[in-house]
Amino acid sequence: MKLQDYITKLNTLDFKNMYSNDFFLTWEKTDDEIAATFAVADSLRHLRENNISTKVFDSGLGVSVFRDNSTRTRFSFASACNMLGLEVQDLDEGKSQIAHGETVRETANMVSFMADVIGIRDDMYIGKGNTYMHDVSNAVKEGFEKGILEQRPTLVNLQCDIDHPTQCMADMLHLIHHFGGVENLKGKKIAMSWAYSPSYGKPLSVPQGVIGLMSRMGMDVVLAHPEGYEVMSEVVEVAEKNSRASGGSFTKTNSMKEAFEGADIVYPKSWAPYAAMEKRTLLYGDNDFDGIKKLEKELLETNAKHKDWECTEEMMKLTGNGEALYLHCLPADISGVSCKEGEVAATVFNRYRIPLYKQAGFKPYIIAAMIFLSKMKNPQATLKALENKNIRRVYE
């Protein structure tokens, strides 16, 4: 496709409310806004692949706040900011005045004097992460309105306790390219399945994000997990509503085999039970570290009862023609490689390793598109201007 093809697509969409706005949860965005994000992500990739600079900022700062460990998302955020011309500064809370009692409102404004975007990952505590992001957003909005900040930084959710929009949007764009267009996703079966992990407390945001987004595309979405590993009921309701509107389906099962049967896409990924994550949050709030150790022991013992929830070669044979596309947000718990027993057999993972890297490669463009649509009042004109200027990214 040519850049004009993406611009033509954008001309058919209503996404004006994305300007000067944040990106928290995918289901808070309209279908047109989701489509616009994909179109801009593909546009930016098209320009970069043709050695055209995509810098729309001459200066400015992207502030990253990672309250959980990260490789792909951290570097994707840095890449996205750099692609648009912003430098990145990581807020290390341990080296800031937060430890001395500095408030969220104060911190948010102090780091934002020349910031155009703030990316936050806060995914470990139920009821906390998304709330914290809104607190930061409200603080910088006030700072801008009161004349403290020259610009209002855009907030991008890099993973919270509810959703992982940059990951799931990247997953979706990968599927769009793999199957040759969004229209070809209708009727495809995707199995979002729990899988065994020897670790404790993995966030719920990936499975919740997947069912909350894939259900909008007319797909047949199946959520599979052992009894007791439920996700948030509110997100299940979102998936059910989306499926009815899109003409797809959403079902739940306690059988991994049932989920994999005839699937076109499989996404085996471990997560902690919602009830356990709620309890964990309360224990940390009470500084009950003995209680946390006890909960961790209980969860690991419960996990160990479901070691058969593994994406094996036998399980993959159940899928459509035995050739379903395997997805994972990475890093996966690979049996015999990163752990003794885990989410996926080494032979399955190795066979899909390159497609998995391609899946991850869409994330910088998705994040850049989220920033671009919030900062550019006329994205189509800006994209065209970048093409016309034809400033080489690399001078050879």
Does residue 101 surpass a pLDDT of 80? no
Q: What is the pLDDT of residues 277-290, one digit of tens each?
A: 999 999 999 999 99
Task: Compute the distance between CA of residue 209 and CA of residue 366 in angstroms, rounded to an integer.
Answer: 15
Going by pLDDT thresholds of 50, 70 and 90, the confidence category of residue 99 is low
Model confidence band, residue 222 (pLDDT cutoffs 50, 70, 90): very high
pLDDT > 70? residue 77:
yes
Task: Give the side-chain half-sphere CA count within 13 A for 115.
Answer: 29
CA dihedral of residues 42, 43, 45, 50 (deg, nearest 10): 140
Mean pLDDT of the 269-276 span: 96
97 pLDDT more than 80: no
CA atoms within 13 A on the CB side of 306: 26
Domains 3-163+362-389 and 169-359 share a fold: yes
CATH code: domain 3-163+362-389 is 3.40.50.1370
Amino acid at 342: G
Q: Is the dihedral of CA 208, 213, 215, 219 positive or negative?
A: negative
For tokens 């080296």, what's the residue?
95
Taking 90 as the threshold, does the pLDDT of residue 305 lie above it?
yes
* Per-residue pLDDT at 100: 63
> How buried is residue 178: exposed, middle or buried, by Cβ count under 10 Å (0-12/13-18/19+)?
middle
What are the tens digits of pLDDT across the range 192-202?
999 999 998 89
- Compute the average pLDDT of residues 60-78: 96
Alpha carbon 247 to chain centroid distance? Answer: 24
Asked whether the predicted pLDDT for residue 94 surpasses 80, the reply is no
Report field, pTM of the whole predicted structure over 0.85: yes
Average pLDDT, integer, range 355-374: 98
Comparing 276 with 201, which gets the higher pLDDT? 276
CATH code: domain 169-359 is 3.40.50.1370
The secondary structure of residue 153, as a DSSP letter, is P
pLDDT, tens only, 31-52: 999 999 999 999 999 999 999 9
d(CA 342, CA 304): 10
**Per-residue b or e along 9-21, where b marks 16 or more CB atoms closer than 10 Å to that residue's CB:** bbeebebeebeeb
pLDDT averaged over every residue in the chain: 96
Q: Per the structure block, which two tokens stand in for 317?
A: 């044979």
The pLDDT confidence band at residue 129, using thresholds 50, 70 and 90, is very high
Q: For the residues 154-162, what does the mean pLDDT come to?
A: 98
Average pLDDT of 72-79? 97
Contact 107, 96 (CB under 8 A): yes
> What are the residue ranges spanned by the domains of the chain?
3-163+362-389, 169-359
Q: Which residues contact 66 (CB under 8 A, 6 or more apart)?
A: 73, 74, 90, 120, 121, 158
Render pLDDT for 7-20 as a digit per residue (tens, 0 to 9).
999 999 999 999 99
Cis before 364 (ω within 30): no
Helix (H) or strand (E) holding 326: strand 325-326
Rg (CA), the chain: 21
* CA 236 to chain centroid: 17
What mean pLDDT is predicted for residues 309-333? 97
| pLDDT score recorded for residue 325 | 98
Q: Which residues contact 240 (CB under 8 A, 6 or more apart)?
A: 215, 250
Whether 359 shows a pLDDT value over 90: the answer reads yes
